[in-house]
Every structure is written in C-alpha cells, then in structure tokens.
C-alpha cells in the first residue's frame, strides 16, 4: 500500500484520530492482537450505597459496580482497575469507619492502584496511614514526597503491570495541598512540580522500562478557567510519552474522553468520570502485530 493510501485510510471518519509514528518499528511475522482494558473511577467520596433520591437517584453503588467490573473482567482478563483519588469523605460511612470500608471494598473489587486525593487527608496523614492495612492495592504518587512522614515507604511513584506481555506503567500525581488542606493534616508531605515529575516518570517508564503504555493517574483537576493552575489538560500539553491521563478532583463529567496534543504533537487521552461512583470509565487499548493494521498508526474512537 502506498503511503498516500495509508493517510487517506487513517483520516477516514470524523471520530478517528491518528496517533502516528508508532507504525514501522516492530513488525512480527505472526499476527497477534492483545486488548488491554483500563477501568477507572475518581472522587467516589465514600459513596457506597446507590443514590436513593435527588438528581442521581438510582445511580451508583459499589455492589453494582462490582457486577459491572466482574462482567468486563470476564470478557477481558487483561484489565486494570484504577482510582484517581478522593476515596474518602462524603457519607457517614467515612465519619463512622474512617475509610476502612472504602478500602476493604476496593480490595474486594480488586483495584490495582489508586492515587491520593486531597480529601484522603481529611483524617490527617495519620488517619490515612491507619487505614492502609485494609487496602490490598497499591497507592501511587510521584509528586508527594512522604519521606518525612508516617506514609514513607507506603506509596510508590509508579507501578508497572504486565498483562499478556504488554507492559503498562502507571504513575500517580497529587494536587498542591497548601491552601486546600490544613498543614497539620498533611504534616511534612512535600508537593513536587507535576510537570517536572511527569517528564521524569514518562522517561523512566517509556524509555528506561520500555513500557508499551504509560498512564498518569492524576488528582490535579481537569481544567481551571482563567488560571495558570496546573491541570490535566495543561499537563498533557506540556509533556510527552503519556498515553492516557485519568483525572479527578474537579468532579468533571465529560461527554467523552478529551484528545489533547502533547509537546511532540502526539495525541494524549484525558478522561474523568464525574464523581460518587456514578460512572465507570473504560478505555480499551488494542495492540496488534499485523503490519497492515499497525502501519496506519493508532486510531482513537471516543
């Protein structure tokens, strides 16, 4: 096929976007497809029960989310389940049990990783630490330096998951705590520049660790109007080698994931699914060694 035809095919259809430049580097003779499914929640805020009334009546609920996740995992075992923070605070479950039930349920739902939101400090850094024995999933945060706190060694900057030979690197980012959380709650947690940290993380994950997918699990917030405050959209533009940013904090309900051009003019997906466990985000990544498919670059369907 001629190059001109590739381009025409890739640009067919309005919902298709070409990621490009991933094509020619790695043909193998045997055609082989792997689908990686990324499921995600954010800002669940202790919402364990289904809403009984109000505008979200009959929506949400952990037991229903569990069924949904089970059915998706049954269809594709190569699935990761991630949470972008603010697990705590919002219903009496948190006031009574301090986050114990939230962590136990996320463990039962087999969450793979979560990042830390500002409200996860609502019972202080000691309150977060106290609930860690109930969490069987990894907390990841690359830009909170916990080394002078009780959380030291209990989080990782990133985690690499291997699913059917595909390496998925996930790193975490948290929001600036000063001004949002009382200093005596976060104590000596140091906030590091998310852009600089992301540049380090994407280099480590994409180049050194040779990950096939790099995911940023962020609690920075989707976008801030009339403000220079770092957000998922501005982070996506300022960095490279990140495939997906899963966001939180701003409780943003998006009609569909946003496609942003990064510093190398390549596409990054940015997604967030509102709050309170009303929605589950699902992003499927298809890897294919069929040269006819891969030669077209990456199509994004949202």
Partner 1 sequence: MRFTHFLFLLYFLIFLNCKNEKQPLVKIEGQQITVTDSLTPKEEIENFIKPFRDNIQKDLDSVLAYSAENYSKTDGELNTALGNFMADAVFSEANPIFKRRTGKDIDLVLLNHGGIRATLNKGDVSKRTAFQLMPFENKIVVIALKKPQIDDLIDYLLKSKRAHPISKLKLSVDKDFNIVEAKIKGEQIKQSKTYHVATSDYLYNGGDNMSFFKPNDSVYRLDYKIRNALIDKFIKLDTLKPVIDDRFIQIK
Interacting residues with partner 1 between 224 and 263 (CB under 8 A): 243, 254, 256-257
Candidate residues 7, 9, 22, 237; the one interacting with partner 1 per rule CB under 8 A:
22
Which residue, 188, 166, 167, is CA-closest to 177?
A: 188
The size of the chain, in residues, is 302
Residues 6+ apart with CB under 8 A from 148: 187, 188, 190
Angle at 169 between CA 212 and CA 175, to 5 degrees: 135
Candidate residues 25, 153, 226, 265; the one interacting with partner 1 per rule CB under 8 A:
25
Using the minimum distance from each CB to partner 1, give the nearer residue, 195 or 300: 300
Identify which range of 105-113, 150-158, 170-178, 200-208 contacts partner 1 by CB under 8 A.
105-113
Q: Hey, which residues between 166 and 225 contact partner 1 (CB under 8 A)?
A: 166, 182, 210, 212-213
**Residue 92 is a binding residue for partner 1 (CB under 8 A):** yes
Using the minimum distance from each CB to partner 1, give the nearer residue, 190 or 210: 210
Residues in the interface with partner 1 (CB under 8 A) total 73
Using the minimum distance from each CB to partner 1, give the nearer residue, 83 or 212: 212
Note the maximum CA span of the chain: 65
**Residue 269 is a binding residue for partner 1 (CB under 8 A):** yes
Query: Strand pairing of 213-218 and 244-246?
Result: parallel
Six-digit token pair at 156? 């990782």
Contact 299, 68 (CB under 8 A): no
| Bridge partners for 107 per DSSP | none
**Residue 7 is a binding residue for partner 1 (CB under 8 A):** no
Q: Hey, which residues between 117 and 146 contact partner 1 (CB under 8 A)?
A: 122
**Residue 8 is a binding residue for partner 1 (CB under 8 A):** no
Query: What distance in Å separates the CA atoms of residue 33 and residue 131, rounded to the nearest whole number?
Result: 40
């Amino acid at each position: 096929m001629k190059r001109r035809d590739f381009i025409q095919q890739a640009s067919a259809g309005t919902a298709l976007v070409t990621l490009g430049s991933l094509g020619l580097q790695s043909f193998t003779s045997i055609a082989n497809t792997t689908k990686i499914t990324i499921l995600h929640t954010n800002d669940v805020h202790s919402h364990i029960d289904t809403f009984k009334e109000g505008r979200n009546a009959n929506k949400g609920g952990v037991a229903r989310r569990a069924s949904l996740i089970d059915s998706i995992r049954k269809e594709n075992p190569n699935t990761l389940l991630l949470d972008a923070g603010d697990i705590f605070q919002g219903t009496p479950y948190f006031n009574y049990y301090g986050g114990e039930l939230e962590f136990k349920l996320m463990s039962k739902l087999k969450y793979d990783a979560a990042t830390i939101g500002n409200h996860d400090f609502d019972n202080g850094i000691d309150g977060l630490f106290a609930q860690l024995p109930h969490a069987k999933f990894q907390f990841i945060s690359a830009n909170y330096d916990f080394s002078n706190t009780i959380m030291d060694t209990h989080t990782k900057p990133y985690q690499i998951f291997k699913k059917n030979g595909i390496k998925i690197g996930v790193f975490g980012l948290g929001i600036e705590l000063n001004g949002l959380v009382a200093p005596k709650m976060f104590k000596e947690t140091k906030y590091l520049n998310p852009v600089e940290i992301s540049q380090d993380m994407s280099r480590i994950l994409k180049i050194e660790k040779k990950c096939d997918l790099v995911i940023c699990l962020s609690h920075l917030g989707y976008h801030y109007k009339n403000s220079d405050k770092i957000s998922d959209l501005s982070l996506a533009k300022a960095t490279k080698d990140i495939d997906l940013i899963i966001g939180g904090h701003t409780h943003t309900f998006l009609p569909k994931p946003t496609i942003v051009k990064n510093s190398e003019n390549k596409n990054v997906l940015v997604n967030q699914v509102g709050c309170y466990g009303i929605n589950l985000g699902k992003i499927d990544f298809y890897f294919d060694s069929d040269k006819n498919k891969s030669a077209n670059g990456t199509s994004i369907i949202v």
